[in-house]
Amino acid sequence: MFTQELTDLAQRIGTLLKERGETVGVAEGSAGGLISATLLSIPGASAYYLGGAVIYTAAAGRAWMAGAVETPQRMRGATDVFATYLARSVAVRLGATWGIGEAGAAGPPNRYGDPAGHSWLAVAGPVESSRQVLTGLDDRRENMVAFAVAALGLFAEALA
């Protein structure tokens, strides 16, 4: 599932993180681990990648993220608030400079009515940023790749 775009982003991110001595953790849902796998595909990733979790269910969120940072009052998956919570929480849990959070619906639509191809991405660290992705696609794998590309693109922008 690695595309040239994913590989190029991971290479650029890895170079910047190594140059700065910074680290990253990832908490992703509908990307299914692809964000982490892409970062890990670059030789020397152990210098900057501290770990990650696939937060695919509420139970996983409670097990891996609960208590790391203050939990917003009104929070559900596939929202800006939840993606930011994931990014902040994974950074705190791992003691990372940066956290990346992703939450969405790769396909089919999720139980909240979010369409396939909908995701929220967030980066937390020295700079915080978030972005919504709407691919308009029904293909689960294509959406997973699109979410990973968008998340790593957002992270690269934050690093710049």
- Kindly report the pTM of this predicted structure: 0.94
What is the DSSP code string of 16-71? HHHHHT--EEEEESTTTTHHHHHHHTSTTGGGTEEEEEE--SHHHHHHHTTTSSPP
Q: What is the pLDDT of residues 6-36, one digit of tens each?
A: 999 999 999 999 999 999 999 999 999 999 9
- Domain extent listing, the chain: 4-159
Confidence of residue 72 (pLDDT cuts 50, 70, 90): low
**What's the CA gap between 29 and 39, in Å, rounded?**
16
Residue 2 has a pLDDT of 80
For the ranges 16-30, 68-82, 138-152, the lowest mean pLDDT is seen at: 68-82
| Superfamily of structural domain 4-159 | CinA-like (3.90.950.20)
Cα-based angle 116, 121, 125 (whole degrees, multiple of 5): 170
